[in-house]
């Protein structure tokens, strides 16, 4: 590998690590608002399992691909992602979207829990203006 390729590889790696550190720092100091990122907005649960599952699968796939990029010997192109991982990631996103659809229409179809139905009822004494 030529000296220029080695320098560029470490420069890109340093840039990505610096960007990750900056985003992490801003999240910790609340300059990037992540409040409610995992909260369930439709059902009575505090944390949405679908959001946790989607976040974990996204982070896992991104980390796997980063390790593939760092481990590749062919520097002329990016490595291919295995088809099994693409299918698994698509299924993960599909499960999340189906959960969102269920949450959106569960109350109108009568499938929601009593706690969610109670929250969905309009409050007495309030008028829409």
Q: What is the mean pLDDT of residues 47-52?
A: 83
Can you give the residue range of the structural domain that contains 43?
Answer: 37-124
* Number of domains, the chain: 2
Q: Name the burial class of residue 116, with classes exposed (0-12), middle (13-18) and buried (19+) by CB atoms within 10 angstroms of its CB.
A: middle
pLDDT at 17: 92
Q: How far is CA 31 from CA 6, 55, 93, 123, in A?
A: 35, 20, 28, 35
Span 63-120, pLDDT tens digits: 999 888 888 887 788 888 889 999 999 998 898 888 888 777 766 776 666 666 666 6
Same-domain pairing of 28 and 46: no
Percent of the chain with pLDDT over 70: 77
Same-domain pairing of 90 and 114: yes
Same-domain pairing of 43 and 7: no
Strand partners, 47: 39
Same-domain pairing of 13 and 64: no
Same-domain pairing of 5 and 44: no
Same-domain pairing of 18 and 42: no
């Amino acid at each position: 590998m030529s000296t220029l390729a080695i320098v560029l590889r470490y420069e890109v790696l340093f840039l990505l690590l610096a960007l990750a550190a900056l985003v992490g720092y801003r999240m910790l100091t609340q300059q990037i608002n992540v409040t409610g990122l995992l909260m369930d907005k439709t059902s009575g649960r505090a944390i949405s399992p679908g959001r946790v599952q989607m976040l974990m699968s996204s982070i896992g796939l991104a980390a796997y691909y980063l390790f593939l990029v760092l481990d590749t010997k062919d520097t002329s192109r990016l490595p291919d992602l295995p088809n099994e991982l693409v299918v698994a990631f698509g299924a993960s996103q599909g499960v999340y979207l189906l959960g969102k659809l269920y949450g959106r229409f569960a109350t109108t179809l009568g499938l929601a829990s009593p706690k969610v139905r109670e929250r969905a009822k309009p409050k007495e004494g309030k008028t829409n203006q």
